[in-house]
Structures are given as structure tokens and as C-alpha cells.
Amino acid sequence: VTCDCCMKSSFSGLRYKCLICFDYDLCQSCHDMKAVSSRHKSSHSMQCIPTRADMGILYSGEPSSSLVIQSFSCPHCSKMGFNSQLLADHVRTCHRDRISVEICPICASLPGGDANHVTDDLSQHISTSHQRPILELVRLFFLLVIVFILKLNKLQLLGI
């Protein structure tokens, strides 16, 4: 990752990714200076992401840094501190008639995720991609089991 303002590459500390401009990142100090460019305005929402260098610390269980990655910014109003569920609800209720496309702050924060995942329905995208699809599968499986048991009972009642 290169800072799009000072062009420093592989900086450490926090990185700030614009959720409006495609592939626009700032280092901590440029973000603090409220760096702008021809396309980027200081009013744009930014997602704060720990850099790879800090990811090591993050996954060895440092509690203060793991809070950072649980805190997503809304691409529309710059509000921060959402988890994936709250962000999906917030976008659905507060930004119903939005027209712009959105860069998913959760994909952008995930190590190995698609850093510039653009979607035109963020709440839909979050509920399909970031809310434990496993749980849905388990629910579906139980439903099938129940249907199967009911059918079995019916067959037994009929004496087959």
C-alpha cells in the first residue's frame, strides 16, 4: 500500500482508506493533515485499517488494536464505530435513497479481502458476505430435517 499523498510506501501504523475514491489510501500523518487531492475531499468517509506490519500484533491478541478492525465507517456519512450488523442496519435505514456506489469497508479491512470491493447495495452485500453464511446453512439443514421427520411420521401413520 502506498500513501496517495506523500507517496510513502509500506508505512507502518494506521492507514486510512477512502470509501468514496477507488483505491485511495493515506498514511496516518497525511490523514491528520486532512490531505486532499483533485478527486479526494476531506469530507469523504475513510476506513481506518491497521497496516500489515501491525496485523501481527493484532492477531497475537492485543485488545486495543482488535477494536480498530471491529469498527467500520459508513461510506455515506462518515460515522464510525459500526460492527458489520450495525453497519448493514444503518445503511438500510439511514441511506435508503442513496444513489452512489459504495466501497465495502469490511472487505477493505479484511486481510486478504478485496480492498476495493464496490457494491451498489452495501446492506445487501454485508448480509450476504459478512454475516456468517454458515448459520444460514445450519438453519436450512434443520429445516430439511424437520420436513423429513414430518414426512416420515405421515408415512408411518398411513402404515407404509
CB of 62 to Zn ion, least distance (A): 24
- Cα 23 to Cα 2, 65, 118, distances in angstroms: 10, 23, 11
Q: Which is nearer to Zn ion, 61 or 112 (CB)?
A: 112
Whether the CB-CB separation of 52 and 59 falls below 8 Å is answered with no
Report the interface residues with Zn ion, using CB under 5 A: 3, 5-6, 18, 20-21, 27, 30, 40, 44, 74, 76-77, 104, 106-107, 117, 129
CB of 66 to Zn ion, least distance (A): 19
Q: Which is nearer to Zn ion, 92 or 117 (CB)?
A: 117
CB of 114 to Zn ion, least distance (A): 7
Q: Which is nearer to Zn ion, 131 or 153 (CB)?
A: 131
Query: What cell does 131 get?
Result: 454475516
Which residue blocks in the chain are alpha helix, DSSP H? 28-32, 52-59, 63-69, 84-94, 105-109, 122-129, 133-157
Q: State which amino acid sits at residue 35.
A: A
CB-neighbour burial class of residue 35 (10 A; exposed 0-12, middle 13-18, buried 19+): middle
Q: Which is nearer to Zn ion, 20 or 48 (CB)?
A: 20
CB of 156 to Zn ion, least distance (A): 47
